[in-house]
Structure 1
Amino acid sequence: MAPAQAQLPTLREALAEYAKAKKVKASSLARYESVLRTHFADWFDKPVLALKDSAFGNHCHKFAQSKGAALVDLGRGIVGSILKYVGAVHGLDIRSPFVKLGAAGLMPDRPQPRARKLNESGLPEWFKAVDSLPAVQRDYLRLILLTGLRKNEGGDIKRKDVDLAGGVLVIPETKGNKPHSLPITEPVREILERRCDGLEVDARLFDGLSADHVTEMAKRAGAPAFTLHDLRKLLASVGARLGIGDAILRRILGHAPKRGDVLHRHYVSLCEADIADPLTQLQITLTM
């Protein structure tokens, strides 16, 4: 028998429980709350058992048919994850309406990855524009290209994350909720030394920089159209062209292997020294 409805968490509370249990980043939690508050407002403060009602299923159907593919995919993921959580923790058996809709062919196609705007042929023009920017913006963009870091990972680097003597750069918080580390290769050492000079241990290297604005600054200076994620994709593409193995590229980019890849999930472990030479080769190729 299911627990009494009064004892069950609301959808809002279940989201908070789920986020704490899964160590969801504050920025992601705020985004999830915004989606539920905006698009599932009538259920946000109701006990999760209300999500079993046909009215919620009808609402999910309308949501799936009227919103964009990316938003629907995000909403589907949030609702599905919370229902799996309350099923495991609170003993509720509530099937996500989105699963039923998908089985009936009533869900839109999954959103497609955005096409990359910047290619290797555009790098000389890109570098020319970037090198004309103020030092902070220039160093940030070069570092993102040469390391493949995500925009927030690069923007949030603190002085204490940079071990110049040991030659290691640490990213404490990542999309995968696991720390990531990279060797400080010669092509990026100059950038990090310049940015670390005179900083207190808790100071950010790129304090005050707007990651969302810096691409526009570069484009106004003459850079071809690009996104910050293009730089990450470009590093991966050049690495593949150079014949750098998947395991090393995943380690550079901080990507986890697929769940079924037992070899690379549980046996293969690469440290900073293992990727230093391939990463240096990649960086030299990008800057030629």
Structure 2
Amino acid sequence: MPTVSEALLAYATAKKVKASSLRRYQSVLRTHFGDWLERPVSELKGPAFAEHCHLFAQKNGAAIVELGRGLVGSLLRYLHAVHGVEIPNPFIKLGAAGLLPLRALPRARKLKEADLLVWSAAVDKLPELHRDYLRLVLFTGLRKNECGSILREHVDLHGSVLLIPDTKGGKPHTLPITESMKEILVRRCVACQSGTRLFERLSVDHVAEMALRAGAPAFTLHDLRKLVATVGAKLGLSDAVLRRILGHAPKRADVLHRHYVSLDVEAIAEPMELIQRTLTSHLGQGTPQVS
């Protein structure tokens, strides 16, 4: 039998888990299940592991418990499928007995459209690299790491297409390069060499904090992504269009949008421009023009 650590690596390889996600999973196991990492997986059958899971659920918040229980459940299902080892999942019994914390609620959005004028004034005080990053996230709705990992060769200025190869869903994502985005992307491409990231010297985990210190209202980078979705919904854009812009996959049961509806880059160019014009008007840089 493999050890728990070896099983995680084998599972990650079989499922083609991204390197960043694997590092996160390994960190969770080291922090909360460290004593079990180098033990054979067969030892997870015993009452000691069940008790450990119970204590883990009692001592930690809902979000980390959800991640831990999901990771343990996935590993146990993998071991059963590949090695034929059936190990009861302690979290199933704990849940049935009401011994797990309630599921974590989505974090409320702090930044509103009305806050963007003050937000923009604070962002303008930052170095150019940081300003460009924050505004590109606002205009595209990209996740922080998706935007931070863009390479120079991912920017096709001639074809007006931005490629994001490494996404949360594991599939490449493309966006049209609008006029609002082009100014930023041209500036960043000129400032970096081929094979390097557009935002090479920027820490995506600290850029929001820099803006806060410069006077921005409370916000997270994910708030900017939520603003794109909110503005798009207010403008009456369809769920399919918003999912395509944000890189969200339809639900498994949604056969129509999973297997039939396919929107290319050209199909979302005009909706993205409309969202960006609306956001720009809140930044105090123009008035939205409805087509």
Distance 1:222 1:34 in 2: 34
Select the residue among 120, 135, 144 that pairs with 1:142: 135
What is the match of residue 152 of structure 1? 145
What is the match of residue 238 of structure 1? 231
Q: C-alpha root-mean-square deviation of aligned residues, in Å?
A: 1.1
Deviations 1:21-71 (A, max 9, x none): 111122221121121122112221111121111111111111111111111
Sort the Cα spacing of 1:265 and 1:229 in 2 relative to 1 into closer, same or farther, 3 A.
same
What is the match of residue 93 of structure 1? 86
TM (normalized to structure 1)? Answer: 0.95
Sort the Cα spacing of 1:132 and 1:38 in 2 relative to 1 into closer, same or farther, 3 A.
closer
What is the match of residue 62 of structure 2? 69
Are 1:26 and 2:47 counterparts? no
Distance 2:56 2:256 in 1: 40
Instruction: Return the offset for 1:226.
Output: 0.6
Within a 5 Å distance, the mapping from 1:86-235 to structure 2 comes to 86-197=79-190, 199-235=192-228
Secondary structure of 1:197's match?
helix
Give unpaired runs (5+ residues) of structure 1: 1-7
Percentage identity across paired residues of the two chains:
66
TM (normalized to structure 2)? Answer: 0.94
Distance 1:198 1:69 in 2: 43
Distance 1:221 1:55 in 2: 51
Distance 1:217 1:42 in 2: 38
Secondary structure of 2:205's match?
helix
How many residues are matched? 281
Distance 1:219 1:198 in 2: 26
Secondary structure of 2:78's match?
helix
Deviations 1:65-114 (A, max 9, x none): 11111111111011011111111111122231111111121111011111
Distance 2:68 2:209 in 1: 30
| Runs of 4+ with >4 A deviation | none
Deviations 1:167-212 (A, max 9, x none): 1000110111111110101111111011111532201111111112
Secondary structure of 1:211's match?
coil
Secondary structure of 2:54's match?
helix
